[in-house]
Amino acid sequence: MPVTTIGKSLILDGELRGTDGLSVQGIVKGKIEIDNAITVKKGAIIKADIKAKDVQISGEVKGNISASGNVHYMEDCTVVGNTSTARILIADGASIKGSVHINI
């Protein structure tokens, strides 16, 4: 699966949609809809709602997260927003403020 990377020096303001995977190292504001996986790297800032198959967060997200597969909150992440997913893994040290809804 191809992965598109938004580098550390990039700022994207608007809607981002696609079928490939996404790796974010910079800043994204607006809305993100990805058919595959999204990875938010340490130091990245997302101020957007995220909809994807799988989500892994090491950076900062302010927005709601909806995943049809897995959500993995890594130990360094900060998340403010509600989460809806089929499966979730929260590492020790993750900071989360919001509700979590597990879809069965």
* 40-99 pLDDT per residue, tens: 999 999 999 999 999 999 999 999 999 999 999 999 999 999 999 999 999 999 999 999
- The domain segmentation of the chain, as residue ranges, is 3-102
Q: Which residues contact 18 (CB under 8 A, 6 or more apart)?
A: 4, 33, 34, 35
For 1-49, the pLDDT digits (tens) are: 679 999 999 999 999 999 999 999 999 999 999 999 999 999 999 999 9
Name the region of 43 (left: φ>0; alpha: ψ -120 to 50; beta: rest): left
Q: What is the pTM of this model?
A: 0.94
